[in-house]
């Protein structure tokens, strides 16, 4: 597996593979607690995507185009999937990661490989019903204000100029990518979709989370959790249970 784009934080299991896509400004390590919980819950192979421009990829230019980012991930992921064609897989993304996971799934569906068994999309409405175009107007102050509003980040870090000097390039690029992204139409995916959302999320309502239903020909479910935009980091075991049940049930049915 390409160690530049993908990270594992546990010994790879022999069961289905789960590929996790981080939120805006986030890195692969955001999913380390979830990967550890999944290792205890099931024999999964949890793989976390590391976008350019952060942590050990800090020297690389981050993507400012979300569709191009998804294309790069799909290109790197395809040979990994082709090497084990019998292993089922699913994609999980939170916030911006939901859109990257969704676009990655659409690209993979056009190729010769089997598509994902399920998509798990968290903290974001469907692109045709929940526009991100407003982020195109955000300057650095607006980006940081949005990060403060959403929570999930130690507020003292946002007041540390040295930390912000390191974090802002990736945040700036990710919000630019969100601002330039727009739905261009397309056929629904064959893969079933499970949407996860916090009941107090200031970015997406439970109703908006349900707008993903038109993007799948498979079954569809919305799972609501207590909390705000970053509810999942406070309920790692509960999220791991939903992911495990959805992926293992779908794999057994297939």
Number of C-beta neighbours around residue 11 at 10 A: 7
* H or E element at residue 51: none
- The stretches of 84-160 forming alpha helices (DSSP H) are 96-109, 140-150, 155-158
Question: CA angle, 105 as apex, 125 and 225 as ends, to 5°?
Answer: 35
The residue from 95, 122, 156, 180 that is catalytic is 95
DSSP string, 190-201: SS-EEEEEETT-
Question: Contact 232/239 with Cβ under 8 angstroms?
Answer: yes
95 catalytic per annotation: yes
d(CA 254, CA 239): 23
Structure tokens at 116: 């994902």
Catalytic residues: 95
């Amino acid at each position: 597996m390409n160690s530049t784009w993908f990270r594992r934080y546990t010994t790879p299991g022999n069961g289905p593979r789960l590929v996790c896509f981080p939120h805006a400004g986030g890195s692969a390590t955001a999913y380390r607690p979830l990967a550890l919980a999944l290792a205890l819950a099931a024999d999964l192979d949890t793989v976390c995507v590391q976008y350019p421009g952060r942590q050990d990829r800090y020297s690389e230019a981050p993507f400012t185009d979300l569709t191009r980012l998804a294309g790069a991930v799909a290109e790197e992921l395809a040979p990994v999937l082709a090497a084990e064609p019998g292993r089922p897989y699913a994609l999980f993304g939170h916030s911006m990661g939901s859109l990257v996971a969704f676009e990655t799934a659409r690209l993979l569906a056009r190729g010769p490989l089997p598509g994902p068994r399920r998509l798990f999309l968290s903290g974001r409405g469907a692109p045709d019903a929940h526009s991100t175009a407003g982020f195109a107007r955000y300057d650095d102050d607006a980006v940081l204000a949005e990060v403060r509003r959403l929570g999930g980040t130690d507020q003292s870090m946002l007041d540390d100029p040295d930390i912000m000097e390191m974090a802002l390039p990736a945040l700036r690029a990710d919000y630019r990518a969100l601002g330039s992204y727009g739905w261009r139409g397309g056929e629904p995916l064959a893969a079933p979709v499970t949407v996860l959302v916090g009941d107090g999320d200031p970015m997406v309502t439970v109703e908006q989370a349900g707008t993903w239903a038109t993007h799948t020909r498979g079954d569809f479910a919305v799972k609501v959790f207590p909390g705000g935009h970053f509810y999942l980091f406070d309920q790692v075991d509960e999220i791991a249970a939903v992911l495990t049940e959805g992926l293992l049930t779908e794999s057994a049915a297939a």
